[in-house]
Chains A and B, each alone.
Chain A
């Protein structure tokens, strides 16, 4: 019971701020104010973070970012303003030192995205390794590089290293999905975008021509396949 009847016949609460005596009430009141201010401030920051660029964020964007990143980062523009309208895929070819005769050869284009798609088909619960890993990695790679394909700072270089390691895991070694049968010395990536055709009921003319972009050849170093100290 949260209330009882005291001698004067008045209901006196046994919980909450009204159940406290003066000094305790002050503490509770201060806490109440602090909780309210903190909640409002947090919500305001989250709001400014998800809102479009505006007068406030142009002036105080840094304060908002400091508050939000890294733990409260969020992006709810799911399929917005427009859904993605093209299938992006990643192909790789590699220069391989053959295990058998020590010869050097260049493989044809291996479609890594096709592997993912094959794994996702008929899958009730696709793994992040199938649905997100490569898809998001190539997306990040694009964002972390400028128009000429130069890396933007540290993140650009990290995204390159990440791509190399994803690729190696899939094409080198006996456990790889598409083992090239040797030691990979260099790789080249190609990103292909294939627009989804307009719906059949639409009169809109949309080109469904694929467009590809090749990245430079990258040397593979031990850092791209290195294992960490403790597990070696």
Chain B
């Protein structure tokens, strides 16, 4: 950063506005920004949803099954009114329910691993929406975040790093031309299967879901098919154009996701400011005495016994929530608040008995983690894995997993050799 003083020496040449605009357009069309951030969001949310589904496995019939308290018939009557999307409305059969639940679990696992990320992210969304919309009166804030992010993730290229997709791409690149020519069959097979589902979904569209969901699904499916065709037969400019479109969708959805997180904190914070309990510094005392949110009453009692502590935490919560969106412009402060928020959510997980909610919020926060930290974290995780599996460090056999485009500099841009992916937030 240069000092704002009008120093005559190191003053950078003024870049005309239209140049800046062109550069920005090039950036958002040539790169899917935040490869590490989007990957950690993918991992965080798929893990959260997976934990949740596994934990609720014994309760799945009571929660989402056709014979649960919120019966198929009740759900049908509500959905006829609100038009929510759930494939569980296709049939009231027990088997169909088990299939959907199983697919939701499988999609969470595969999204976590980053296996055919784009296609799987769509299945993940369909699974999450189907279960949650089937029983809307069962969810809490955690379900709500998963719901929203699962939709945004379908447009985000969240498998650029830390995924099986990235490993496959790296291996192919290592094999060179020959490897690139080898025809992949899994992708097309997956595409055909999903196409069948899509036709079924469209058939059932009068029963459930708004029109745009079907448009989204069809666009994504056709886009995947087009992508494959272009890769095979028109690797020139059409391929570059498709990449541009995918990057645009990614960057737009990522922006929306980040703004969404800011809106969550802004809403939570600004409304609290208006509450008398948050003003007099006793707010936290009350949740600590609600039966539904005190799995460890002695612990809650201990925390609630100190008036100063309760006030500090109550005020701190409001200050952090209100301030967070504004700190995004100041990297260091942002990172401090990010740590504070993640710690607070970890505390909430234990103290209020809301682990799924807390995990989802931490996963959402993670979109703002700095790239250096994530890269370091990734290296640590890889080393731990290698130690655990007692194998040679991955570097010996494979090139490190990095997004393909990151290696090169930006044209006319900040192209110094190191070029760590400077994201909007990094």
Contact = CB atoms under 8 A, between A and B. Distances in A.
A151 interface: no
B289 interface: yes
Interface in A31-67: 31-32, 35-36, 38-39, 42-43, 46-47, 50
22 contacts: A3-B410, A3-B415, A15-B29, A15-B244, A39-B253, A42-B256, A50-B267, A72-B148, A76-B264, A79-B287, A82-B275, A83-B284, A87-B292, A120-B294, A122-B295, A123-B295, A128-B59, A161-B74, A165-B69, A165-B71, A165-B74, A166-B69
Given A46-B260, A87-B291, A80 B55 contact: no
Contacts of A92: none
Contacts of A11: 411-412
Given A15-B30, A162-B70, A162-B74, A132 B356 contact: no
Interface stretch (A20-28, A102-110, A209-217): A20-28
A199 B307 contact: yes
A201 B307 CA distance: 7
A132 B71 contact: no
Contacts of B78: 155, 158
Contacts of B85: 70-71
Interface string A78-93: 1111111101010000
Interface string A129-142: 10111011100100
Given A35-B249, A76-B267, A16 B237 contact: no
Given A36-B252, A39-B256, A83-B286, 11 more contacts: A17-B29, A19-B30, A32-B29, A42-B256, A43-B260, A69-B82, A84-B286, A128-B138, A199-B282, A226-B73, A229-B92
Interface string B398-422: 0000000101111110010000000
Contacts of A3: 408-411, 415
Contacts, number: 278
A74 B278 contact: no
A125 B290 CA distance: 17
A19 B236 CA distance: 10
B56 A169 contact: no
Interface in B348-395: 350, 353, 355-356
Contacts of B251: 35
Given A123-B295, A230-B94, A20 B407 contact: no
Interface in B312-362: 350, 353, 355-356
Interface in B238-276: 238, 240-241, 243-245, 247-249, 251-253, 255-256, 259-260, 263-265, 267-268, 271-276
A13 B287 contact: no
Interface stretch (B139-147, B158-166, B186-194, B221-229): B139-147
B287 to A, nearest CB: 5
A132 B276 CA distance: 26
A2 B411 contact: yes
B232 interface: no
B93 A231 contact: yes
A96 B130 CA distance: 37
Closest 4 CB pairs of A and B: A16-B30, A81-B275, A80-B271, A201-B307
Contact of A13 (B26, B151, B245, B277): B26
Given A80-B275, A199-B282, A27 B137 contact: no
Given A121-B295, A126-B353, A132-B139, A31 B264 contact: no
B84 interface: yes
Interface in B107-148: 129, 133, 137-141, 144, 147-148
